[in-house]
Amino acid sequence: MTRKTVILYNRLAPTLRARLDEHFHVLDFSDTPNLPRDPAFRAALEDAHGVLGASVPLGRAELAHARNLEAISSVSVGVDKYDRDYLVERGIMLCHTPDVLTETTADTAFLLMLAAARRAVELAMRVRNGEWTASVGEADFGVDVHGKRLGIVGMGRIGAAIGRRARFGFNMDVAYHNRSRHAAVEDELGAEWRTLDDLLDWADFVCVTVPLAEATRGLFGAAEFQRMGPETIFINISRGGVVDEPALIAALENHTIRAAGLDVFTTEPLPGDSPLARLANVVALPHIGSATHETRHAMAALAVDNLIEALAGREPPARYSMAD
């Protein structure tokens, strides 16, 4: 029996790669630069039954000639790199990797909250540069995290995990804004649903976890930062596109808000000349939300399982739904 052909563009541990080889004929593009423009990759798409990888845009133009494609297995929870309407139109199954990265990404959110509040990166660089020459004075003080008010925008799996850390670990009051209410989360955390404007007025920390979609693109602009006020710390672990980046830069430069902790940006990698790379009141990370050995292995393992099951005509463990 002829094995189906799959394209791999994500580095896998040897054991996971061996599982793919057991089931499929694998075309490996995991070390190919500028993948969307690579002629061999584009030619391979014409015959592939499945693809497994992340961070490569696959839309109508890229997939128009992929006549045999049955399934895409993304090593990510976010699926904004894919034209989901086109995939539905073509009957191409889309799988992703929710759940396995929830706790790690929530850890990253709290890392950003603590680092931005206590000015950890800024002050650590002074130590490294030999600039710590006297006791820390008021000019170098940060602000507390414990006991403060956390507003979460997007109460999915990750938002709920952040809320648990806040409520039970740091005794924070938690409120949230979401397109639908979550009674279980409200009961567990004592969290209150608020309108977005009300949430921004109320919160000391605003943490964004929404997926990138047309409804959330540019969700945070000048008006939203103005509403937050000069004591608020803004945290974004979702996607850069949910923020009007020039408006955020202006708010930070003008101290319209206190600080920001950012793991995602409109352009990634973040250009070195971006003000977000040099402002003292910004903690900028290189999109490390799920970047631990354990979590990335679990994500890749789930992606392999998804592709094997999908191409065998069975229900995969994590098929993406438009309702997600």
Catalytic residue ranges: 239, 268, 287
User: What CA–CA distance (Å, rounded) separates 85 from 91?
Assistant: 10
End-to-end CA gap in the chain = 36
Distances in whole angstroms, Cα of residue 96 to Cα of each of 92, 101, 268, 307: 13, 11, 21, 10
Q: Report yes or no: 5 and 49 within 8 Å, Cβ to Cβ.
A: yes
Q: Report yes or no: 24 and 50 within 8 Å, Cβ to Cβ.
A: yes
User: What CA–CA distance (Å, rounded) separates 252 from 276?
Assistant: 9
A 10 A CB-CB count for 167 gives 17
Please, what's the b/e burial string for 86-125 (b: 16 or more CB within 10 A of its CB; e: otherwise)? bbeebebbbbbbbebbbbbbbbbbbbbbebbbebeebbee
Residue 72's φ and ψ, nearest 5 degrees, are -115, 130
Q: In what order do the strands lie in the sheet with 233-236?
A: 192-193, 173-177, 149-153, 205-208, 233-236, 259-262, 282-284
Could you give the angle at the alpha carbon of 232 between the alpha carbons of 105 and 125, nearest 5°? 65
User: What CA–CA distance (Å, rounded) separates 75 from 303?
Assistant: 6
